[in-house]
Amino acid sequence: MIEVTGGVELPARREDIELRTTDGLTLVGELALPLDRDPVATLVCLHPLPTHGGFMDSHILRKVAARLPALADLAVLRFNFRGVSSPRGTSEGEFGHGIQEQHDLAAAMDFVAARGLPAPWLLGWSFGTEVVLKWGLRHPIVGAVLLSPPLHRATPDEVAAWSGSGRRLVAIIPELDDYLRPAEARQKFASVPEGELVDVEGGKHLWVGEKQTRRVLTEIVARVNPDALPLPTEWNGTPT
């Protein structure tokens, strides 16, 4: 029995993948699937700001891929936006300021469709939430989870477009965020009255620490596969 904490990676089927964008770039990524069964839903992960160190291994997204295929029967697709490097490799192209990344998201969703992955949700963190809000409604998704949305690039009209879209929108807002705190978030997301705002007491933009990690993963699973809750804190086996 091991404690599920820190950098523990639980068993899963992991595959290095490449995505091809319509503007001719190859992006690198990874698909993680439950080890011995089909996934019940899919998370497509969009990482924080590349110019500030964001990449597919940004810690929350890495832990989503390390834990949730085993603990919540989820498929997890991570990739580096254009021009971004990680231990997996470097995606072609250069930073697109949230505009050209629309093609990166489209390539990921094409991959989801080609593999027949079920019930796709977008999971954006910081800059990744901007790409979700601006371009996510172009795709057949169940909904989107926004971690620490700064709302620097997504316009009020782009946010409001989610209202009545039939797609769920969940924004997880840290109490002590550097960019958007709960009171302001309620104003900024008022145009989507059916959306869910989750205020996290003591939370910060980067969600550092196991307590914050577990809170975030629990909030994600509560929307995407609530039958998997509560998430186990121990694993009866060995990590990979």
| pLDDT tens, position by position, 87-105 | 999 999 999 999 999 999 9
In a 10 Å sphere around its CB, with 0-12 CB exposed, 13-18 middle and 19+ buried, how is residue 57 labelled? middle
Q: Is 70 a member of any domain?
A: yes
Specify the 3-state DSSP secondary structure of 124. Answer: strand
The whole-number pLDDT of residue 237 equals 75
3-class secondary-structure state, position 234: strand
Q: What is the pLDDT of residue 233?
A: 95
| 32 has a pLDDT exceeding 90 | yes
Strand-pairing partners, residue 74, are 41
Residue 240, domain member (yes or no): no
Q: Is residue 28 part of a domain?
A: yes
Mean pLDDT of 178-207: 97
| Number of domains the chain contains | 1
Q: Is the pLDDT of residue 238 over 80?
A: no
State how far the Cα of 126 lies from the Cα of 146, in Å rounded to an integer: 8
Distance between CA 167 and CA 15 in Å, rounded?
29
Decide: residue 203, CB within 10 A, 0-12 exposed, 13-18 middle, 19+ buried: buried
**In this structure, are residues 165 and 141 in contact, taking their beta carbons and an 8 Å threshold?**
no
**Boundaries of domain holding 60:** 2-235
pLDDT in tens, 106-131: 999 999 999 999 999 999 999 999 99
Longest distance between any two alpha carbons in the chain, whole Å: 49
* Number of helices (H), then strands (E), in the chain: 6, 12
* Per-residue confidence band for 216, with pLDDT thresholds at 50, 70 and 90: very high
The mean per-residue pLDDT over the stretch 135-150 comes to 98
φ, ψ of residue 179 to 5 degrees: the values are: -125, -45
Dihedral, CA atoms, 221, 227, 228, 229, nearest 10 degrees?
A: 80
User: Model-level pTM?
Assistant: 0.97
Rounded to a whole number of angstroms, the distance between the first and last alpha carbons of the chain is: 13
The answer as to whether 220 is a domain residue is yes
pLDDT higher than threshold 90 for residue 1: no
Residues with Cβ within 8 Å of residue 203, at least 6 apart in sequence:
172, 173, 174, 175, 176, 177, 212, 215
Tell me the HSE value of 158 on the side-chain side, using a 13 A CA sphere: 17
Q: Residue 203's domain is classified under what CATH number?
A: 3.40.50.1820
